[in-house]
Amino acid sequence: MLKKLIDTWLATRRSSGFALRKYERHLYRFADFAAARGEDHIHADTAIAWASQAAAPADRRRHFQRVVQLARYLHAEDPRHEIPPDYRFAQERHRPVPHIYTQDEARRLVEAAAQLGPQGSIRPRTVSALLALLFATGLRISEALALRIADVTPDGLVIRKTKFGKTRLVPLHPSAHSGLEQYLHCRRALVGGDDHVFVSIKGTRLSYGGFRKAWLAVLRRAGLSARSGGRKPRVHDIRHTFATRALESAPEQRDRIASHMLAVSTYLGHSCVADTYWYFQATPTLMSRVADACQRRFEGGRP
pLDDT at 22: 87
Q: What is the mean pLDDT of residues 186-197?
A: 84
Q: Around 19, how many Cα atoms within 13 Å sit in the side-chain half-sphere?
A: 8
- Range with the poorest average pLDDT among 115-124, 189-198, 200-209: 189-198
- Range with the poorest average pLDDT among 37-41, 108-112, 204-208, 229-233: 229-233
Q: What is the pTM of this model?
A: 0.65
Q: How confident is the model at residue 190 (pLDDT cuts 50, 70, 90)?
A: confident
Core vs surface per residue 115-141: b (16+ CB within 10 A) or e: ebeeeeebbbbbbbbbbbbbbbbbbbb
Candidates 14, 221, 236, 289; catalytic one: 236
Contact 106, 86 (CB under 8 A): no
220 is a catalytic site residue: no
- Range with the poorest average pLDDT among 50-64, 68-82, 280-294: 280-294
DSSP 97: P
Contact 178, 91 (CB under 8 A): no
SS3 content of the chain, % helix, strand, coil (to 5): 60, 5, 40
3-state secondary structure of 153: strand
3-state secondary structure of 142: helix
103-222 is classed CATH 1.10.443.10 = yes
Q: What is the mean pLDDT of residues 258-277?
A: 57
Q: Residue type for 222, please?
A: A
More confident residue, 93 or 298: 93
Q: How confident is the model at residue 251 (pLDDT cuts 50, 70, 90)?
A: low
pLDDT at 303: 46
Question: Has residue 191 got a pLDDT over 80?
Answer: no
163 is a catalytic site residue: yes
Q: What is the mean pLDDT of residues 126-143?
A: 94
140 is a catalytic site residue: yes
- Range with the poorest average pLDDT among 196-200, 245-249, 261-265: 261-265
The three-state (H, E, C) secondary structure of 190-240, written as one string = HCCCCCECCECCCCCECCHHHHHHHHHHHHHHHCCCCCCCCCCCCCHHHHH
pLDDT at 239: 87
Candidates 13, 41, 75, 163; catalytic one: 163
80 is a catalytic site residue: no
Contact 18, 164 (CB under 8 A): yes
Query: Which of 108-112, 168-172, 230-234, 282-286 has maximum average pLDDT?
Result: 108-112
pLDDT at 294: 46
Candidates 140, 187, 240, 245; catalytic one: 140
Question: Has residue 276 got a pLDDT over 90?
Answer: no
Q: What is the mean pLDDT of residues 221-241?
A: 80
Residues of the chain with pLDDT > 90, as a percent, come to 54
Candidates 23, 101, 183, 279; catalytic one: 279
Residue 267: alpha-carbon gap to chain centroid: 13
Within 10 Å of residue 239's Cβ, how many Cβ atoms? 21
Q: What is the mean pLDDT of residues 128-146?
A: 94
Q: Around 248, how many Cα atoms within 13 Å sit in the side-chain half-sphere?
A: 15
pLDDT at 18: 73
Q: How confident is the model at residue 136 (pLDDT cuts 50, 70, 90)?
A: very high
CA distance 79 to 65: 19
270 is a catalytic site residue: yes
Question: Has residue 296 got a pLDDT over 80?
Answer: no
185 is a catalytic site residue: no
Candidates 63, 239, 240, 245; catalytic one: 239
Question: Has residue 80 got a pLDDT over 60?
Answer: yes
Question: Has residue 302 got a pLDDT over 50?
Answer: no
Question: Has residue 226 got a pLDDT over 70?
Answer: no
Question: Has residue 256 got a pLDDT over 60?
Answer: no
* Arithmetic mean of pLDDT over the chain: 83
3-state secondary structure of 291: helix
Residues of the chain with pLDDT > 70, as a percent, come to 75
